[in-house]
Amino acid sequence: MGPGFLSDATEHHFTQKERDSESGNDYFFARYYNAPTGRFLSPDWSAKVEPVPYAKMDDPQTLNLYAYVGNNPIIHVDVDGHCFQRMAGLCRLEDEIRAKTNVPAPPAPQQSQAQQQNNTEVAQNNPPPASGQNGQQPTTKQLTGDATEYNLPGAKLAYGGKFDGSKMAAAMTPDRAKNGQTVVVSYTSTDVNGHQVTTTIRVVVNDTGPFARGANGRALSPLSPDPNIVIDLTPTAMRSLTGNSHNRVAVTVTVPNE
């Protein structure tokens, strides 16, 4: 079992793709995907040699060969490790080539654990670019500020239910994110070798906050939003993001525009 991955009753995880029990990476047929970083471990490729396979030159989001679904996993799904537009009938180039030449699709490249680790580091050091370019309406918005950990066992949530610190959940003010939205939180740290590493997680907003706090860490009364804190994370979410518990870290939060 790969580091950081817990035992599970199923081998199929992200979008029902099979997860390798040793590396913790997901098999997308054409290549492997690393869930913690939100990146493929090898660049995209095609049966016919292309400068940038499956890219649309008028869409900068498709030019990153390691990115997953144009950096918008909230509304897109990659079905085969190549092109997230296949389901819309826009990824026919390779299929047409195969049909004309009777050449089967190449097998997914086999990589050693050392190669996979190196590719993981490459993916970690290439955070997702902002969405919405060329005058198009952005599909997401990015908020920068601090994330804090909050832990209120059994407390009633603003949107119903009770607080559960074991969930990948968060609190945000309604003007920033809506109840039930999945947001992407990115945190950049420096490793022991002096390299910057960006970790990305996805959490579901199920509470309101963060609120201004006093010296004891408790919310002040009456409640008022803290303009410098963009998101409150459950203990589980904070550990997934930073590797351990932190009172406060600088983050970027990507929220879908709806």
What pLDDT is stored for residue 146 in this prediction? Answer: 92
Tokens coding 202: 């996805």
Domain-embedded: residue 246: yes
User: Over 60: is that where the pLDDT of 55 sits?
Assistant: yes
- Give the other-Cβ count within 10 Å of 139's Cβ: 18
| pLDDT tens, position by position, 75-106 | 677 777 776 654 444 454 444 444 544 544 44
Question: The dihedral of CA 149, 154, 158, 160: what is its sign?
Answer: positive
- Structural domain of 187: 140-256
Tokens coding 157: 């949530």
**Both 207 and 104 in a single domain?**
no
Domain-embedded: residue 52: yes
Domain-embedded: residue 220: yes
| pLDDT tens, position by position, 125-148 | 555 554 445 555 567 888 999 999
What pLDDT is stored for residue 250 in this prediction? Answer: 92
pTM for this predicted structure:
0.48
| pLDDT tens, position by position, 19-45 | 888 888 888 878 888 888 888 888 888
What pLDDT is stored for residue 96 in this prediction? Answer: 47
**Both 154 and 97 in a single domain?**
no
CATH number of the domain within which 163 lies: 2.40.40.10
User: Over 90: is that where the pLDDT of 205 sits?
Assistant: yes
Please state the domain count of the chain.
2
User: Over 60: is that where the pLDDT of 119 sits?
Assistant: no
